[in-house]
Structures are given as C-alpha cells and as structure tokens.
Amino acid sequence: MIVVHSAGIQDRDGARKVLSPLAHCFTRLRKIWADGIYTGDLAEWVRNLRTRNRIDFEMVKRTDKMSTEFAEHKLSEDWFDTMY
C-alpha cells in the first residue's frame, strides 16, 4: 500500500491522511517511531485509530550526535554495490 500527499502539505499536517489506512490494514503493526516534528495530538489520534491492537506512536528526538554521525557516513560506491 502506498499513500502520499502533496509536497505542498507539511508532513505533520498530512500525517493523518497517510496514517488513516492503518485503522484497517497492517493489523500486526504495534509501534510507529516518528521524528519530533509530529507534535500535537497526533500520538493520541494514532492510538485511537483502533479499538483493539492499538498502535503506540513514539516520537524520537534526534540528537546533534546522531546528525553528525549521519553526515559523516557518506554512501560510497562500495557500500552501494553491497546493497544490490
């Protein structure tokens, strides 16, 4: 299943459209980790999508160390070749 929204919509505003199919699909899904930009009542909204097998929505804060490590890890051709 692929669900997308227009690039003109901020991610946190389009999240409900993208996540709403989870009410009836992927019933084994129990946890979603999301970037800290998804603030507000989105976590509670996700939990209430289902009456059974609720989904836990956890926001993960990115640290400066994580940003630095990611920036330093460049995708070399050797690494890319091992993926395919």
So where are the chain's domains? 11-59
Which pLDDT score, from 0 to 100, does residue 55 have?
A: 92
Higher pLDDT, 12 or 47: 47
| Calpha distance 41→55 (Å, rounded) | 14
Which pLDDT score, from 0 to 100, does residue 70 have?
A: 57
Question: What is 5-73 written as a DSSP string?
Answer: --TTS-HHHHHHHHHGGGGTS-TT--EEEEETT--TTHHHHHHTT-SSSPPEEEEEPPPHHHHHHHHH-
Confidence of residue 12 (pLDDT cuts 50, 70, 90): confident
Q: For residue 68, give both structure tokens.
A: 């630095």
